[in-house]
Structure 1
């Protein structure tokens, strides 16, 4: 049995390292067994970790860590990348996939860059959650029924949050 796999001839290792998992890798991977395509790097963001450590659009991903990528569907490949933590090892085959070049001056398009932040709660004070709205409406109805009962309970200072 030959321990050397010919499909890995001409491949090279690329290792990406980051300080924390809040720092994005800076590349977009496409393909997978479920998409009838090999896994490949479709885009590498400028000034990203992916670019700094040598990933290029068109690189085919042959291994993620010690896992052969040729039999992974897209979601399984993403799971392997997540499992890698802050040190990601790829075995790649350079220029294996023809990736269309992006227009350097896109017209009418913008790119959304993911920025990890701590969730600080609802920042728009005019927006209410559905559950808060339901509770408020129920309380307003109960207050209205108390006023109609003439129960001697004063509700003149009640505030409805709508």
Structure 2
């Protein structure tokens, strides 16, 4: 027994929310492989495993996947799907309960990589104890009011910051 599902969206930026597979080019009937629950298709009642018989008023039996997709594009933002329920067994990924998979733990401590720290981090790390003692914050290359600058950067009288050693 077939069922008619009406799909309507406001503009083309909204996805329909289902994945279609099959077609005469792969030797299978067109069917719905996956439906996102809160999508337009999910709310309209489309289900994984439904065979697609008609798109709008066009019979799609014998259509390739691309022909069926083209027919959906021609229909625009408002069309009907005539489907037959339960023709194709829903793939395991479309089941309602997600399969439990063990989590993996990866440790880089045994790997060939070495720990790398940026110059900025090293500079701030060295200035932090002094800043905590005086109650001030570490020097910043963006702090124009601060006169005591880090050895990494110097500023001339105009306020421009130059890398250390550059005149």
Could you say what secondary structure the match of 2:92 adopts?
Answer: coil
What is aligned with 1:152? none
* Distance (Å, rounded) in 1 between the aligned partners of 2:52 and 2:14: 21
What is aligned with 1:84? 75
Deviation at 1:35, TM superposition (A): 0.9
Distance change in 2, residues 1:52/1:36 (3 Å): same
Runs (5+) with no aligned partner, structure 1: 1-9, 109-162
Q: How many residues align?
A: 99
Deviation at 1:67, TM superposition (A): 1.0
What is aligned with 2:7? 16
Deviation at 1:106, TM superposition (A): 6.6
Deviation at 1:105, TM superposition (A): 4.8
Higher helix share: 1
Moved over 4 A (4+): 105-108
Deviation at 1:12, TM superposition (A): 1.0
* Distance (Å, rounded) in 2 between the aligned partners of 1:88 and 1:101: 28
What is aligned with 2:34? 43
What is aligned with 1:34? 25
Are 1:55 and 2:49 an aligned pair? Answer: no
Bigger Cα Rg: 2
Could you say what secondary structure the match of 1:78 adopts?
Answer: helix
